[in-house]
Structure 1
């Protein structure tokens, strides 16, 4: 296992460490490493007004741990959008798990565990928080957003429209010509879609009670625990016991961080996992339904259509899009 340390606004130091460790070719903006230990492609651009944009795709045969150490920057945030993918021997995606959108203060301390033989891909934007007010967040909503995100984080499930844009960006990442310009244009599209969808969904960004930093970290671990296995529904008593919490504290802290209950969170992510597997894997609808623990294929289809206004078969056959 290798442990990496760094801060969110100088990720090139971590890239260089990975490049030196595994024999890569980091040049200050990009690197590609392909050998028996690691498969990695990273792109990182600095833009005017202190804006940083990066795209990373990585799979390693050994465990990597990344620990953030904070920075001197204030009122500066990261928006990280990513997923983990599990593939079969023919490189077909079997599952796209633990997807999500994190918006957090660059001084929020966290630890990321990257497990062996899993593809990780994420798109990240680091910028002054006022940049979002200039372009994406209405002034009436901004103070509530700022109060909520500074010294902590906000989490949202991955939005399918945004994942599509990131997949397009991964395609453009193979082309060197105009790549820096394309990344900047996609940055505006992704952030525009993100804050537009959140506004349309009426997920109001309000000020919330601040938790102790350790409680925030615990809720990150609870999220991972809940999403480890979609075939079985989480039980509050079991989760609380595992993390040495009372059920009431688990409910309260989880709702504070994720703005929903544990069960609604699980159900939403299970449907999102189904959406990704239908769209990007070769598993049958029946297999997906069984693997994700739905009562029956009929129940799966009804629940899926209620969420996405489209049946699983329509999505698989590209007859319509949500």
Structure 2
């Protein structure tokens, strides 16, 4: 195992953290663009600050060593953080496997948070950070707002949402405009607000069933499990192997995972896999046979049956609507 690189960062002083990281790894940070290129790590990104209290960034990481980023709670204003794991590729034994490290993670700056990024992988993600004061300026007064009450709660909390197509489309717009100097500021800002608006709707509908006071080590372990073992849809995870890897019984592993992601491990994996079928039909030109093979379904009929059970219609119907431009 390669030696881990550990870095302590701040949710409040975001750009200062990037500056320190660039200095530690002999890279560069010019206030908006991060560039790090070492013998074991390539880390590139852009981050912009809006109205002094909102930060929107997109980053690409490819590391041969495990990287751990630790966020400790800071005094002062409470910030809300939205971290959207997007996509990437695994590299091993001369083989490249695409994976979608999908998910929307929402938490406040009181939550002690530690991320171990996938290594031996190219990983892309988007972050949106804003103070509660900033959020209040952009929302109407509403005493019955569940989301406002949640955001004003200073105790540590965490919530996970699947990355649906609506949010992903806004993420893709941000990514598509990262090199467009004349318009990227407005796209980063406006699409970030669109994403916040969608998340607000979802949390209001769900009743803000957030997780509070999660033990940081449990959160770190389950994030690592999801990122490293549940992103390769060509191979179903083995619970016995995961039990050995994380040093706990299968029942305890499932219990802790469900306490964060609302589902046991295999149920979560299967849902992510069938949502990946939808995503590949929408965003690629693959045939249904190619999608079925890539995601390791036994055949097209098996994929179709599982897809229809989840979405209520066959994947062929979705592909036909896409091909006719009727999505």
Look up the match of 1:115: 119
Rounded to whole Å, the distance in 2 between the matches of 1:168 and 1:291 is: 26
Map of 1:154 onto structure 2: 159
Q: 1:67 aligns with which of 46, 61, 69?
A: 69
| Pair 1:304 & 2:307 matched | yes
In structure 2, do the counterparts of structure 1 residues 45 and 143 end up closer, same or farther at CA, with 3 Å as the change threshold? closer
- How far off its partner does 1:79 sit? 0.5
Contact 2:70-2:114 at 8 Å conserved across structures: yes
The one-character-per-residue Cα deviations of 1:71-128 (angstroms, maximum 9, x if unpaired) are: 334532211112231289xxxx962322111112234220322424x33222211122
Query: Structure 2: where are the runs of 5+ without partners?
Result: none
Taking the TM superposition and a 5 Å limit, the aligned residue runs for 1:277-292 are 277-281=280-284, 283-292=286-295
Partners of 2:183 and 2:231 lie apart in 1 by: 39
* Structure 2 SS opposite 1:196: helix
Q: Within the alignment, does 1:189 sit opposite 2:191 as a pair? A: no
Are the counterparts in 1 of residues 132 and 152 from structure 2 also a CA contact under 8 Å?
no
* Cα 1:39/1:171, change in 2 over 3 Å: farther
Taking a change above 3 Å as real, the CA distance of residues 207 and 160 of structure 1, as seen in their structure-2 partners, is closer
Q: Is the 8 A contact 1:3 1:66 kept in 2?
A: yes
Moved more, 44-53 or 279-288: 279-288
Deviation, structure 1 residue 225: 5.0
Closer, same or farther in 2 for the Cα pair 1:120/1:251, shift >3 Å?
closer
Aligned to 1:101, the other structure's residue is in SS state strand
Secondary structure of the corresponding residue to residue 293 of structure 2 = helix
Q: How does 1:131-170 map to 2 (within 5 A)?
A: 131-132=134-135, 135=139, 139-142=144-147, 145-146=150-151, 150-170=155-175
The one-character-per-residue Cα deviations of 1:14-39 (angstroms, maximum 9, x if unpaired) are 43355456765521122456898766
* 5+ residue gaps, structure 1: none
TM-score (norm 2): 0.78
Partner residue of 2:177 out of 172, 192, 201: 172
* 1:52-91 mapped onto 2 (5 Å cutoff): 52-60=55-63, 62-63=64-65, 65-70=67-72, 71-73=74-76, 75-86=78-89
Q: 1:136·1:195 contact (CA, 8 Å) conserved in 2?
A: no
Partner residue in 2 for 1:9 = 12
Distance 1:248 1:299, change over 3 A: same
- Rounded to whole Å, the distance in 2 between the matches of 1:164 and 1:305 is 23
Paired with 2:184 and 2:286, the residues of 1 have a C-alpha distance of: 34
SS at match of 1:63: coil
Moved more, 309-318 or 209-218: 309-318
Measured in 1, the distance between the counterparts of 2:245 and 2:239 equals 10
